[in-house]
Amino acid sequence: MQIVHSNAAHQSKFRDSQAALVRARQRPDVGPIADKWLAQPVALAELANARQSTTLMAWMEAVSIVAVGLSPLFDHVCFTREFYFTAGGRRRADPMMKVLFTTGTSALRKLPPSIALEKIGQLADRLETTAHPKVTRERAKEEADKLRALCAALAPKIQALASATLAKAAAETAFASAADVCRLELSSFKRALQAEKMREAAIHEIIPGHAGKRRVKAEQAPPSGGTTAPTANGSAPGLPAPTDTPTPTA
């Protein structure tokens, strides 16, 4: 299964070189020249592209695992906040709520997973060290321990996501470099065919993107403000032909 990557330009460079190599190998007179310029770059690009597909799949799987793990953690943060809000009598301006919950749950969901995990760990520390007039120390420590346990279970998954992200970026960089080499060698292959006195039409059959230098002779328009020549019937272009009937006079 081929995966469509975001680097469409590099994919195009790779596919052009790959297709040119396949077409050239079908001709005995051109195949050795193509192997000289394109065989090794295309082979390396194929390996880099396969590696890019593998790392992309691993990255997508890591993203899904972290998203599934973050959901119960965010839910428990919401539960803890609601518990403290209810314990404080649901006062609109509870000063302790701003001290403990410095970042809202909606804002936490928008943060990168590693930063969100760090923020939730800081929340657990504040819950345990900050005294709330309506919550006992034992209950505060219990809520903090639950948050820490959820964070500890998610930490390896977030670390795996970070590693997968680095591997994905490295694979994309390697493939981009291999595709650029393919484009350069494809240009060298074109010049080699031209050096063999091959016609432009024949080169175009092997390398479709190479159409050759075709000059199109444009029709010259009449100069602006000039007069146009009359037609065969003596009338101006676009007007009816004159008749021989005289115009009556008064």
Residue 58 CB partners (closer than 8 Å, separation 6+): 164, 167, 168
Whether residue 239 lies inside any domain: the answer is no
Query: 189: Cβ–Cβ under 8 A, 6 or more apart, which residues?
Result: 20, 24, 33, 34, 37, 38, 207
Query: Cα separation of 185 and 17, whole Å?
Result: 8
Can you give the pLDDT at residue 208?
A: 76
Q: What is the pLDDT of residue 58?
A: 97
Owning domain of residue 115: 8-206
Write down the pLDDT at residue 88: 64
> Considering the domain boundaries, does residue 216 fall inside one?
no
Check pLDDT > 80 for residue 198: yes
Supply the pLDDT for residue 145: 94
Contact criterion met (CB below 8 Å) for 87 and 134: yes
Domain-located, residue 41: yes
Rounded to whole angstroms, what are the CA distances from 203 to 35, 210, 248?
16, 7, 71
Looking at the structure of the chain, the number of domains it has is 1
Radius of gyration of the chain (CA): 36
Q: List Cβ neighbours of 178 (8 Å cut-off, separation of 6 or more).
A: 14, 41, 44, 45, 48, 49
User: Is 244 within a domain?
Assistant: no
Residue 236 inside a domain? The answer is no
Give domain status of residue 58, yes or no: yes
* pLDDT surpassing 50 at residue 4: no
Q: Is residue 70 part of a domain?
A: yes
Provide the pLDDT confidence category of residue 215 given band limits of 50, 70 and 90.
Answer: very low
pLDDT tens digits for range 110-138: 999 999 999 999 999 999 988 888 888 89
Question: Predicted confidence band at 155 (pLDDT cuts at 50, 70, 90)?
Answer: very high
Q: At what angle do helices 8-25 and 40-87 cross, to 10 degrees?
A: 150
**Within a domain: residue 135?**
yes
Q: Would the pTM count as exceeding 0.85?
A: no
Q: Give the model's pLDDT for residue 7.
A: 77
